[in-house]
Chains A and B, each alone.
Chain A
């Protein structure tokens, strides 16, 4: 089955630092990857859609200069939270769609805590 990995699974950092989260599709090529954020007891909120080799499309209200997305290859997308603040603490989940399909397969998520 389609497997998506995320690294790290958990990160704690100080306010003002930047954090990079990696999302990899392990056994398929993903033209499109998605980044979500989930706060406690809330549903998934799409932050941005990234397509390999082009700029990411950000959802309304998501700052593109704060959440930098790079989709350099068909199996890797990265999300960098720049100058993180405590309000950025959340569960960040990526998903990937195999080229030509709609089904998204999710990574295990990254729990970010900003002190």
Chain B
């Protein structure tokens, strides 16, 4: 059974702090790893990672994948209150576009 494990489950930081969210996985026939941000409604896409060691960056967010150790991290620098959300990690595997989601990390950024 494919598994995606995220840590920590919950995190409270002050504005301006840097956070690192972790995602480890065990899947058959890995295709890609995806990060999403979920606020009040449906998730919004952040990154898709397919190759090890190549950092994807978007503003204050960045992510990297390690396919040997089977994990990914999502970094957020200079956090703002608008970064408060649940961050979901998902792994696409197999040949049928099957995607397994982790339970998410709830990030709260306080002023």
Contacts and interface: CB of A to CB of B under 8 A. Distances in A.
Interface stretch (A11-19, A73-81, A96-104): A96-104
A57 B100 CA distance: 15
A104 B96 contact: no
B99 interface: yes
Given A44-B88, A103-B48, A32 B97 contact: yes
Contacts, number: 50
A106 B104 CA distance: 16
A102 to B, nearest CB: 4
B63 to A, nearest CB: 14
The secondary-structure label for the interface of chain A is strand
A104 B88 contact: no
B92 A105 contact: no
Interface residues on A, range: 10 to 19
B45 A49 contact: no
B89 to A, nearest CB: 10
Interface string A43-81: 110100100000001000000000000000000000000
Contacts of B44: 106
Given A43-B102, A44-B43, A97 B96 contact: no
Contacts of A35: none
A103 B97 contact: no
B104 A43 contact: yes
B42 A102 contact: no
Contact of B34 (A42, A93, A102): A102
25 contacts: A32-B96, A32-B97, A34-B97, A34-B99, A43-B88, A43-B102, A43-B103, A43-B104, A44-B101, A57-B96, A95-B42, A97-B97, A102-B34, A102-B48, A103-B34, A103-B45, A103-B48, A104-B34, A104-B90, A106-B36, A106-B44, A106-B45, A107-B42, A109-B41, A109-B42
Given A44-B43, A46-B100, 11 more contacts: A34-B97, A34-B99, A43-B101, A43-B104, A49-B98, A102-B34, A102-B97, A102-B99, A103-B32, A103-B34, A109-B42
